[in-house]
Structure 1
Amino acid sequence: RLGAKPAQQAFVETAVAISQFERVTMGISARQFSNARSQLPSHIRVVEMSSNDAWMRDCGPIFVNNGQEVRVVDWEFNAWGGLDEGLYFPWDQDNLVPRKVAELEWLDRYQVPMVLEGGGIAVDGEGTLITTTQCVLNPNRNPHLSLTEVECYLQRYLAVEKIIWLPRGSVDDETDGHIDGLCAYIRPGELVLGWTDDKSDPQYEINQEAYEMLCGERDARKRPFTIHKLPNPRPIYVTAEESAGLDMVEGTHPRPEGLCMGGSYVNFYLANGGVVVPLYGDPADRPALATLQALMPERKVVGVQSGREILLGGGMVHCITQQQPSPNSR
């Protein structure tokens, strides 16, 4: 909206926050390269990398690491649903992003014939993966694959041993229930789960369902989960001003006034020694930061004030980022 200026400021704020803890690379289209370079501090690397949209978590590579070498896993991407139910068309440049990153970083690449977005999975690095059937088994993703085949791909290319299937993700998630809006690991065996005690909230039943299921599960190392409830912000609705300022592009979904967007504090980015959290101008912002800081005292928790602007585009901090591990970080 407004020529993408507010969104650009939100992305800059996010990148600068993460750069307190680790090196940051921004992939920028050729048209916006000079603009991005002028807005970002010199210690943030800017590279030309065309894409159709801006969600590196979903269209970008997933990195795997054996303690000696990092490689790229290149999944198929279809804009969260393909020609019939996807959020935009085309997505051809998005689908090339993992290959471009692999070339840029001199990394070997596995190409997998399965649609998967990074926001659709949560992994602990010790063999456990949590996802939702609403997303990964959705007919608009991989209608040609059975549950067994999907699990085989996940196990083979992500080195996971235990896959936990929750039925669904957040109620207002237009990506078909990504797990990264519902829960997240803070360390192996320990999760934060978005939460509401309001029984009239459509998210209430989903949170309860996820909590009960996770309480009954164990991870790949046979540990029960420790689950911390993290209150969600209040429902966030598109304002008349926000809707009127949108720059509509053919093939994309509108944002009418009154549309409810599913904000969440669990959609954070874990950096080296830090946690970068989206904020929404909500009374729950400050308690969320305090809760996460208490749960992760070994990290510095930093809020991104412009989280609402990113949410207007359909995602949050975790959605626009993708961590790249060091080979010896396992």
Structure 2
Amino acid sequence: MKITREGALPINDGFRMPAEFGRHEGTIMIYPTRPGSWGKNRSGALASFALIFYEIIKREDLYLLVPDNPEYYAEAKELTDLIANKVCSECGGRLVHALNLIKIDTDDSWARDVAPIFVSGRDGSKRGVNFGFNAWGGEVDGLYASWDKDNAVPSKFCDFCGYEYYDAEPFILEGGSVHTDGDGTLMVTESCLLSKGRNPSLSRQQIEDRLKAYLGAEKVLWLPRGIYNDETNEHVDNVCAFVRPGEVVLAWTDNVNDPQYELSNASYEYLLSATDAKGRRLKIHKLPIPDVPVLIGEEDLANYVFEEGEDERSVGERLAASYVNYYYINGAILVPQFGGANEESDKRALDILRGIHPDRTVIGIAAKDILLGGGNIHCITQQIPG
């Protein structure tokens, strides 16, 4: 049910966006079908999605949005039934957490950006926020021509599941463009939130005011840049993430000749000078990007089927590969692994995150096929707080 209220913004009602590393009720994902992202042969993407489904269902509820299409629904049900049966066999013959297949049409599978962002009240109650979505830039630099189905996801999901929600439209905001410590601090990038394709009529201060109002933030940290060649105008979730209040991981490279070096160094210098909402200086963990850039190959390009108006790719294009695009689930972290020439850097990322999170299981997920779609593990997941 949409919450209507006097004035433009919900202010001072006690609701705040919790940290992703807090307890989850579940995770929202979207079944991958778009050929311009996942290819006419989707087997690689489906294999990676299935690994994530499996790890989630073992630890929390999964809400999987599936097209209202008999063929895709049957395919999704067959795959998730296999995973559920495997989990059952490992958990004493019963499924502890719910697996929910929900028929909601979408334009693609980027749940982080199109699903509702949830905020929690002091009593533990939850509400969604329905921000506007325009495919990462609308008519200016959006990545596909039609996004009506994606834009309708938050209200449809909340109505289906019985959550109240705030309607923040026409304010444009993707979930991947914000990160929170759950303790009053929100983190974004200037390159994304100040891009001309999102909210060009709003000043930086007006954008910040809306973030504080809808997500319950007290302070917004504005990193200057994100990951090189990130087609989302450099979402923060690909470059920097809170691991706990007062502490972040930052994508990094020591190679001064890599175009990522200047971008990461600019954010590093900013973070060194910043304090969070509670006045704390930030502890920064550097999380190196893959040693070898991940590029589009000829076979990769041949597998895509692009629609008219959809952003296309080219052989040799560098993808925005980053280990910061990991996802917290209850008791664990799912971390991208790119394989091939990056086996050593894959292992290094796991070791660094294990050192930062001794109380969690750190799980590597083969994720190159998700990266070929344009994002990674964090981009295809959206948490519902516990």
> How does the TM-score come out when normalised to structure 1?
0.96
Q: Which residue of 2 aligns with 1:315?
A: 375
Query: Which string of whole-angstrom CA distances, capped at 9 and with x for unpartnered residues, describes residues 249-303 of structure 1?
Result: 2221222110100101111111111101111001201111111011101111111
Residue 363 (structure 2) pairs with residue 302 (structure 1): yes
1:10 to partner: Cα distance: 1.8
Residue 176 (structure 2) pairs with residue 176 (structure 1): no
2:225–2:266 CA contact under 8 A, matched in 1: no
Pick aligned residue for 2:104 from 49, 69, 81: 49
Helix, strand or coil: the match of 1:80? coil
Pairwise mapping of residues 167-246 of structure 1 onto structure 2 (< 5 A)?
167-233=224-290, 234-246=292-304
Structure 1 CA distance, aligned partners of 2:333 and 2:56?
8
Structure 1 CA distance, aligned partners of 2:103 and 2:309?
24
1:314 to partner: Cα distance: 0.4
Structure 2 CA distance, aligned partners of 1:20 and 1:228?
29
Identity %: 41
Helix, strand or coil: the match of 2:284? strand
1:2 to partner: Cα distance: 3.3
Pick aligned residue for 1:111 from 142, 149, 167: 167
Q: Which residue of 2 aligns with 1:268?
A: 326
Residue 116 (structure 2) pairs with residue 61 (structure 1): yes
1:17–1:304 CA contact under 8 A, matched in 2: no
Residue 206 (structure 2) pairs with residue 149 (structure 1): yes
Q: Which residue of 1 aligns with 2:20?
A: none
Query: What amino acid maps onto 2:54 in structure 1?
Result: V
1:84 to partner: Cα distance: 2.8
Helix, strand or coil: the match of 2:74? helix
- Of residues 195-204 and 286-295 in structure 1, the stretch that sits farther from structure 2 once superposed is 286-295
Q: Which residue of 1 aligns with 2:27?
A: none
Q: Which residue of 1 aligns with 2:353?
A: 292
Query: Which string of whole-angstrom CA distances, capped at 9 and with x for unpartnered residues, describes residues 30-89 of structure 1?
Result: 221110110112353221111001101011100000132100010000000002310002
1:248 to partner: Cα distance: 2.2
Query: What amino acid maps onto 1:89 in structure 2?
Result: A
Structure 2 CA distance, aligned partners of 1:302 and 1:250?
38
Q: Which residue of 1 aligns with 2:58?
A: 20
Query: What amino acid maps onto 2:356 in structure 1?
Result: L
1:104 to partner: Cα distance: 2.1
Query: What amino acid maps onto 1:6 in structure 2?
Result: G
1:243 to partner: Cα distance: 0.9
1:18–1:276 CA contact under 8 A, matched in 2: no
Structure 1 CA distance, aligned partners of 2:265 and 2:225?
12
For structure 2, which runs of at least 5 residues remain unmatched after alignment?
1-38, 85-94
Helix, strand or coil: the match of 1:194? strand
Corresponding residue pairs, total: 325
1:7 to partner: Cα distance: 1.6
Shift >4 Å, 4+ stretches? none
Pairwise mapping of residues 79-158 of structure 1 onto structure 2 (< 5 A)?
79-112=135-168, 113-158=170-215
Helix, strand or coil: the match of 2:152? helix
Residue 305 (structure 2) pairs with residue 247 (structure 1): yes
Structure of higher CA gyration radius = 2
Structure 2 CA distance, aligned partners of 1:2 and 1:53?
14
Pick aligned residue for 1:8 from 46, 52, 72: 46
Structure 2 CA distance, aligned partners of 1:24 and 1:211?
35
1:310 to partner: Cα distance: 0.5
Helix, strand or coil: the match of 1:3? coil
Measured on the aligned residues, the alpha-carbon RMSD in Å equals 1.1
Structure 2 CA distance, aligned partners of 1:9 and 1:49?
22
Q: Which residue of 2 aligns with 1:256?
A: 314
Query: What amino acid maps onto 2:364 in structure 1?
Result: G
Structure 1 CA distance, aligned partners of 2:152 and 2:306?
24
1:148 to partner: Cα distance: 1.9
Query: Which string of whole-angstrom CA distances, capped at 9 and with x for unpartnered residues, describes residues 104-155 of structure 1?
Result: 2211110113100010011110100110111111111001111221111111
Helix, strand or coil: the match of 2:41? helix
> How does the TM-score come out when normalised to structure 2?
0.82
Pick aligned residue for 2:221 from 144, 164, 167: 164
For structure 1, which runs of at least 5 residues remain unmatched after alignment?
none
1:15 to partner: Cα distance: 1.5
Structure 2 CA distance, aligned partners of 1:83 and 1:5?
32
Q: Which residue of 2 aligns with 1:77?
A: 133
